[in-house]
């Protein structure tokens, strides 16, 4: 069992992250000890509610059950959550608790950030992707017809409770989508500037079988390593003005893959792995790294048997990458590998890429 903490702006908002595999019927009590006010609203994924609703033990009146899927991260559900909170007469001291994957966390977090100009917020991530990425660091938001996450806020939670028991029932594809982000951390580790050497690449090699078979204590260790790396980055750059951009490794091209396939064909993690492969190829072509590092990376990626995604026409991908919210005027920004577990920021024009 680990307890990590995140310090944003030194002390302005520091919060604990608990990682354990305690029985799930103890989770509610653990959460209750962290509440400031008496009242709370639980926003819970429908799937998680079906599987674990009883054992978690929240009353029906305390829950807002959110259907699953990215399309639920919308204005309508945002409004509904706020209205439920108003009906329950939550005050600023009360808490919104998100139990689910990234969609639930992002949506409930954004509602928490704007309800009464900010109410307490607790994250309980139930997917590997949410455990290693979206539940930590304070990015919240909703999607619109104009794009994903274009409306949102940086809003840090008050606490994060990670319980690996939830990961048992993730389907294989959802588990692997989380592994896509895990693999990303291995390639950016040194650039995260963590105080200790975590050596995620070695951990992945030495524990491949245990990870694939979801050994609980191995998953705890794996999540702890990834979160330590994320904390190190977020503490240094909460609002993504510099260092935090490295967390977007694989995302420039990966987001284009997701958009090109209407967010239907591939999961986020699958698209990110394709984006990582694209970044390695681009770095070789631009003589930033030598081929041996790319072959090494291919081997790390191969261990987890991610879905193969074809190369889509580069002109179309460039157009989509130009529309990314992180694109600047004529340049497309990429985070590219520069050395083993190190990355840097590079800007290319359309011509450079063609």
Binding site for ligand GLY (CB under 6 A): 133, 137, 139, 244, 247
Of 70, 240, 342, 345, which is the active-site residue?
Answer: 240
Active-site annotation holds for 10: no
Active-site annotation holds for 139: yes
CB 292 to ligand GLY: min, Å? 29
Report which residue's Cβ sits closest to ligand GLY. 247
Sheet strands (E) in the chain: 2-8, 13-20, 40-45, 63-66, 95-100, 120-125, 139-144, 147-154, 159-163, 332-339, 342-348
- Taking every pair of Cα atoms in the chain, the longest distance, rounded to a whole number of angstroms, is 60
Of 244, 286, 303, 322, which is the active-site residue?
Answer: 244
CB 133 to ligand GLY: min, Å? 5
Pick 105 or 137: Cβ nearer ligand GLY: 137
10 Å CB burial of residue 208 (0-12, 13-18, 19+) is: middle
Active-site annotation holds for 168: no
Pick 84 or 137: Cβ nearer ligand GLY: 137
Pick 133 or 270: Cβ nearer ligand GLY: 133
Of 268, 270, 274, 277, which is the active-site residue?
Answer: 268
Q: 5 in helix, strand or coil? A: strand
Of 47, 63, 255, 274, which is the active-site residue?
Answer: 255
* Pairing mode, strands 13-20 and 2-8: antiparallel
Spatial separation of the C-alpha atoms in residues 200 and 197, rounded to whole Å: 9
Pick 133 or 277: Cβ nearer ligand GLY: 133
Spatial separation of the C-alpha atoms in residues 247 and 352, rounded to whole Å: 23
CB 134 to ligand GLY: min, Å? 6
Helix H or strand E segment including 278: helix 268-285
Of 230, 245, 259, 274, which is the active-site residue?
Answer: 230
Q: 230 in helix, strand or coil? A: helix
Active-site annotation holds for 248: yes
Helix H or strand E segment including 31: helix 27-32
Active-site annotation holds for 255: yes
Spatial separation of the C-alpha atoms in residues 272 and 248, rounded to whole Å: 9
Pick 134 or 158: Cβ nearer ligand GLY: 134
Pick 130 or 321: Cβ nearer ligand GLY: 130
Judge whether 105 and 123 are in contact, CB under 8 Å: yes
Active-site annotation holds for 251: yes
CB 247 to ligand GLY: min, Å? 4
CB 312 to ligand GLY: min, Å? 23
SS3 labels along 44-93: EEHHHHHHHHHHHCCCHHHEEEECCCHHHCCHHHHHHHHHHHHHCCCCCC
Active-site annotation holds for 36: no
10 Å CB burial of residue 242 (0-12, 13-18, 19+) is: exposed
Give the residue numbers marked as catalytic: 117, 139, 181, 230, 240, 244, 248, 251, 255, 268
């Amino acid at each position: 069992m680990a307890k990590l903490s995140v310090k944003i702006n030194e002390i302005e908002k520091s919060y604990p992250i608990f990682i354990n595999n305690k029985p799930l019927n103890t989770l509610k009590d653990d959460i209750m000890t962290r509440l400031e006010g008496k009242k709370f609203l639980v926003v819970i994924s429908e799937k998680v509610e079906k599987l674990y609703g009883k054992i978690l033990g929240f009353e029906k009146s305390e829950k807002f059950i959110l259907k699953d899927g990215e399309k639920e991260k919308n204005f309508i559900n945002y409004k509904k959550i706020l209205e439920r909170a108003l009906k329950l007469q939550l005050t600023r001291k009360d808490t919104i608790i998100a139990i689910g994957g990234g969609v639930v966390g992002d949506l409930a977090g954004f509602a928490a950030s704007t309800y009464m100009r900010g109410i307490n917020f607790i994250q309980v991530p139930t997917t590997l992707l949410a455990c290693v990425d979206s539940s930590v660091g304070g990015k919240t938001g909703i999607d619109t017809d104009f794009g994903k996450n274009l409306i949102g806020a940086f809003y840090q939670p008050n606490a994060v409770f990670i319980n690996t028991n939830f990961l048992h029932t993730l389907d294989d594809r959802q588990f692997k989508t989380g592994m896509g982000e895990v693999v990303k951390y291995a390639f950016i580790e040194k650039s995260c500037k963590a105080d200790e050497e975590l050596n995620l690449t070695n951990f992945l090699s030495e524990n491949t079988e245990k990870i694939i078979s979801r050994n609980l204590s191995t998953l705890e260790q794996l999540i702890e390593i990834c979160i330590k790396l994320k904390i190190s980055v977020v503490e240094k750059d909460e609002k993504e003005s510099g260092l935090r951009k490295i967390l977007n490794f694989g995302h420039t091209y990966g987001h284009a893959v997701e958009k090109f396939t209407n967010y239907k064909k591939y999961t986020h993690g699958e698209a990110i792995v394709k984006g990582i492969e694209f970044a390695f190829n681009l770095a070789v072509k631009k003589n930033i790294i030598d081929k041996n590092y790319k072959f090494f990376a291919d081997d790390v990626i191969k261990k987890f048997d991610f879905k193969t995604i074809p190369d889509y026409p580069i002109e179309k991908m460039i157009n989509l990458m130009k529309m990314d919210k992180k694109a600047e005027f004529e340049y497309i920004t990429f985070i590219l590998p520069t050395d083993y577990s190190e990355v840097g920021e590079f800007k290319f024009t359309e011509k450079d890429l063609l």
